[in-house]
């Protein structure tokens, strides 16, 4: 049960009711991460805009790489909600649940490309040590690993986004939906 009051779709009024209708129409259903923000509906809009831009907008990163970042950051932060949702999304691309489970346990054990290993290492480093004096060194390492400045920016933004949303989910007690995060349409 969430640690704060939330408003279900059947109890929503005004702008929130309209917003829930729009989300249900476009995504198929309301996620618990939306409901946790129901007392501040405009934050849902801003959150979804950022999410859609980073995860579905034009990027040199593949969709699988973006989901991979989401899973690795959420796993490091212990956010079961986001791990469940984004590992299901990653499975859409990898189509091998056992590999994803191994990735969650030890990302180095699944035969990632050199570039994807660097992406994961940087996402973990930034999550663990955001104040680290060695961030510039990591950027140089990513460049040497073949990442462009735009790819580095997107890895950084997605890592920061998941650190943000993990703290919403874990900090406010967002629970996984009964269907375990499956079945959203985009």
86-143 confidence digits (pLDDT tens) = 999 999 999 999 999 999 999 999 999 999 999 999 999 999 999 878 889 999 999 9
Q: Are 168 and 36 in contact (CB under 8 A)?
A: yes
Domain definitions of the chain by residue range = 63-171
Which pLDDT belongs to residue 142? 95
Task: Provide the sign of the torsion angle of the four alpha carbons 118, 158, 55, 183, taken in this order.
Answer: positive
Residues 50, 157: Cα–Cα separation, whole Å: 10
Nearest to 26 by CA among 48, 9, 58: 48
Is the pLDDT assigned to residue 185 strictly greater than 60? no
Asked if residue 31 has pLDDT above 90, the reply is yes
The CATH label, of 3.40.50.11540, 1.10.600.10, 3.40.50.720, 1.20.1290.10, for the domain at 63-171 is 1.20.1290.10
What is the reported pLDDT for 132? 79
Which residue, among 113, 117, 104, 109, has the nearest Cα to 76 in the 3D structure?
Answer: 104
| Cβ atoms within 10 Å of 173's Cβ, excluding its own | 14
């Amino acid at each position: 049960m969430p640690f704060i009051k939330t408003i279900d779709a059947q109890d929503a009024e005004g702008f929130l009711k309209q917003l829930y209708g729009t989300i249900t129409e476009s995504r198929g259903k309301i996620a618990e991460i939306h409901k946790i923000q129901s007392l501040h509906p405009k934050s849902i809009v801003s959150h979804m805009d950022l999410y859609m831009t980073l995860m579905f907008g034009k990027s040199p990163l593949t969709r699988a790489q973006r989901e991979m970042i989401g899973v690795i950051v959420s796993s490091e932060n212990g956010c079961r909600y986001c791990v469940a949702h984004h590992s299901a999304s990653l499975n859409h691309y990898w189509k091998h649940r056992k590999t994803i489970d191994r990735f969650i346990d030890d990302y180095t054990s699944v035969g990632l490309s050199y570039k994807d290993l660097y992406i994961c290492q940087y996402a973990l480093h930034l999550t663990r040590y955001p104040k680290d004096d060695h961030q510039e060194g990591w950027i140089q390492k990513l460049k040497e690993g073949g990442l462009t400045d735009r790819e580095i920016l997107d890895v950084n933004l997605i890592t920061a986004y998941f650190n943000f949303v993990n703290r919403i989910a874990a900090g406010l007690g967002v629970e996984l939906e009964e269907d375990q995060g499956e079945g959203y349409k985009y």
